[in-house]
Amino acid sequence: MTTKNEQQVANKPSKQVEEVGKWWLTMSAAAAQLTSLDEVRDFGENWEALTAEPGGVDYIETDAGGVPAMWAVPKGCAEDRVILCLHGGGFFSGSMYTHRKLYAHFAKAIGCRALIPHYRRSPEHVHPAQVNDTVAAYQWLLDQGIQAKHIAITGDSAGGGLAITAALLIRDKGLPMPAAIMPLSAWFDMEVTGESMELNNEKDLLLNKEWVKSMAGMFLGENGSPKDPYANPLYGDLTGFPPIYMHVGDDEVLLDDSLRLAELAKKAGVDVSLDIFPGMQHSFQMTAGRAPEADDSINRFTAWVKPKLGLA
């Protein structure tokens, strides 16, 4: 069943979460001035400054089936439960380093380990490199003895879309499905057709239609199709999927991506829920540990997923 639960907060976002909007404005201005992709990526590594250090978490780099990755391991956590965490960044930026603290907050709240793959990025590596890397990391977890019913997949922005497309490929390869999927501010539509692209154009401080089209082009490359369900799950059949719980801000140009994915999942008989957060910008959860709205989002995910992982 699809539900749309709006967070009851004051009309004005907290000062802490306003830093997300300021960062997006800074990022947009910098992207217009920087002359190379490496410079943009390097600047983007400062993204992690939005997130408070959770404390009590060890970070361990590893090789996850040929994919560079990082473990976030909270003290005293259940090591046989894992959240597979897929970072955002439009497929061309972001890393396991920019998102280590965000997903450490998730892991610490849930009481499990988090594995953050550093999947290959576009335009050097186009689709399906990213979904293949994610499934390779998932297979590696299974090979390590982690049961599928003890794995949840989450991701923000491009990583949120990847959480769904990876699950499609996992299912179609005949692998056991994870216990749950939790996309945040997810990007699904490679055709960039959502009504919110126009309606929220003045509200979203980072993304706009042309930028999203540009990122889609880098991701798909010359031969990729925007209708490929392993790239654009809005063309996928979600039959047999585990429960899905999504969060999105209502100021995002990507708002309709989550609304349409929720309807698609509902039609396939999937247990799906969607919370829409008023006044929130793209990936506002990056202010975890500082902004009450981000912590509220993580707490909602935690309460939802712990029973599904057998931790409640």
Catalytic position from the list 282, 283, 293, 297: 282
195 catalytic residue (yes or no): no
Please tell me the pTM assigned to this model: 0.94
Q: Which tens digit of pLDDT belongs to each residue from 154-189?
A: 999 999 999 999 999 999 999 999 999 999 999 999
Q: Which tens digit of pLDDT belongs to each residue from 91-109?
A: 999 999 999 999 999 999 9
Average pLDDT estimate for 254-278: 98
45 catalytic residue (yes or no): no
Catalytic position from the list 93, 252, 258, 293: 252
134 touches 166 (CB < 8 A): yes
Q: Which tens digit of pLDDT belongs to each residue from 221-253?
A: 999 999 999 999 999 999 999 999 999 999 999
273 catalytic residue (yes or no): no
Q: Give the separation between CA 155 and CA 177, rounded to whole angstroms.
A: 16
Catalytic position from the list 122, 157, 196, 273: 157
Residue 53 is inside which H or E element, if any? none
Neighbours of 143 (CB within 10 A): 10
